[in-house]
Amino acid sequence: MRPVDPGVELTAYRIVQEALTNTRRHAPGAAVDVELRYTADALRLRVRDNGPSPGAAAEDGTGHGLLGMRERAATVGGVLRAGPARGGGFLIEATFPAPAPAPAPAAAEAA
More confident residue, 3 or 10: 10
24 found inside a domain:
yes
pLDDT at 53: 76
User: Could you tell me if residue 88 is inside a domain?
Assistant: yes
Q: Identify whether the C-beta of residue 86 lies closer than 8 Å to the C-beta of residue 36.
A: no
Q: Considering the domain boundaries, does residue 58 fall inside one?
A: yes
Three-class SS string for 21-50?
HHHHHHCCCCCEEEEEEECCCEEEEEEEEC
Q: Which helix (H) or strand (E) holds 59?
A: none
Give the number of domains in the chain. 1
Residue 105, in any domain of the structure: no
Q: What is the CATH number of the domain that holds 44?
A: 3.30.565.10
Overall average pLDDT of the 30-53 stretch: 94
Query: Is position 102 within any domain?
Result: no
Is the residue at 111 inside a domain?
no
| Residues 44-75 pLDDT 10s | 999 999 998 776 666 666 668 899 999 999 99
**Mean pLDDT for the chain overall:** 88
Contacts of 5 (CB under 8 A, 6+ apart): 76, 97, 98
Q: Domain of 40?
A: 6-97
Overall pTM surpassing 0.85 (yes/no): no
Beta bridge partner(s), residue 91: 48, 83
- Higher pLDDT among residues 109 and 49, named by residue: 49
